[in-house]
Structure 1
Amino acid sequence: MPKMIFISLPVTDLPACITFYDAIGFRRNPQFSDDHSACMVWSEAIYVMLVTHTKWRSFTQRPFPAPGTAGSMMSLSMDSRDAVDTLNAAAAQHGGQADANPPEDLGFMYTRDIADPDGHLWGIFWMDPAAAGGAQAER
């Protein structure tokens, strides 16, 4: 079995979050979804499990983060700067927040962060690996 990552996120409105993640390019896997969770697929190796607060409580009794706080940020690479901009716009149009942090353009890397409807942060970026190597050497 190849190495994979499954990210579980507690959500307050499962249908709204499914709509949001579908709009930014994830696809729902019904085999691992039910009334309390949705398996959203980014790639063959990256899956996000959207889980209602009730189901989340079956995983842990630790407190939920306070609204507006950030305990982590996941990042997703895109094929182009335009793809970053397109995903950023889709986030805003489907219940999320575009440019949750100021955009960053380093020349070799372009980043625009978004937040889903529950405030989970995603760094959406494009990077030119060849140029990144040169930028690292200059430092």
Structure 2
Amino acid sequence: MPRMIFINLPVADVAASTAFYEAIGFEKNPRFSDGQASSMVWSDAIYVMLLAKPFFATFTQKTIVDATTSSTGHYALSFDSRAEVDAITQAAIEAGGRELHEPQDMGFMYSRAFEDLDGHGFGPFWMDPAAVEGGPPDDA
């Protein structure tokens, strides 16, 4: 079995969050979804688990922070083009998310940032394949 990552996010409304993630291109896996959780597939190895806050609380004794006022992480998502970065960011805004800052263009890398309905941050980005192989230019 390949190594996989499952990002577990506490959400206020599983159905609304599921609709948001579907709007930005994730696919719901119904076999691992119910009224308390939605398993959202990004790729064969990356999943975002949307967990109702009371259900999420069964996994930890820590306080569940309000991601709209506290930073809990920022999840970078790679894309094959700048256009794809723009498309997911626009879809997020149209689905009720919020853009976090203006586009960042460093020449060899282009990124944007948005948050979902609960304030969880995502950073879609594109990187020039030459920079992936050789690192950023010396003047970056």
* Both structures adopt the same fold (TM-score exceeding 0.5): yes
Corresponding residue for residue 118 of structure 1 = 118
5 Å-filtered alignment, 1:50-89, equals 50-66=50-66, 67-89=68-90
C-alpha separation in 2, matches of 1:35 and 1:103: 36
1:37 aligns with 2:75: no
2:57–2:64 contact (8 Å) kept in structure 1:
no
Deviation of the 1:102 alpha carbon: 3.2
Corresponding residue for residue 7 of structure 1 = 7
Q: Which runs of 4+ in 1 moved over 3 A?
A: 136-139
The 3 A distance-change label for structure 1 pair 131 and 56 is closer
- RMSD after superposition: 1.5
Q: Report the AA paired with residue 31 of structure 1.
A: R
| SS at 2:97 equivalent | coil
Paired residues in the alignment total 138
TM-score normalised by length of structure 2:
0.92
Deviation of the 1:101 alpha carbon: 2.8
5 Å-filtered alignment, 1:79-118, equals 79-98=80-99, 100-118=100-118
1:16–1:95 contact (8 Å) kept in structure 2:
no
C-alpha separation in 1, matches of 2:59 and 2:131: 43
Unaligned runs of 5+ in 2: none
Q: Report the AA paired with residue 68 of structure 1.
A: T
| SS at 2:102 equivalent | coil
TM-score normalised by length of structure 1:
0.93
Q: Deviations over 1:2-26 (max 9, x none)?
A: 0000000000011111011001110
C-alpha separation in 1, matches of 2:94 and 2:69: 20
Q: Percent identity?
A: 49
Deviation of the 1:136 alpha carbon: 4.1
Unaligned runs of 5+ in 1: none
C-alpha separation in 2, matches of 1:129 and 1:65: 37
1:102–1:112 contact (8 Å) kept in structure 2:
yes
C-alpha separation in 2, matches of 1:62 and 1:76: 27
Q: Deviations over 1:51-89 (max 9, x none)?
A: 001101111121122332112111100111011111111
C-alpha separation in 1, matches of 2:139 and 2:115: 33
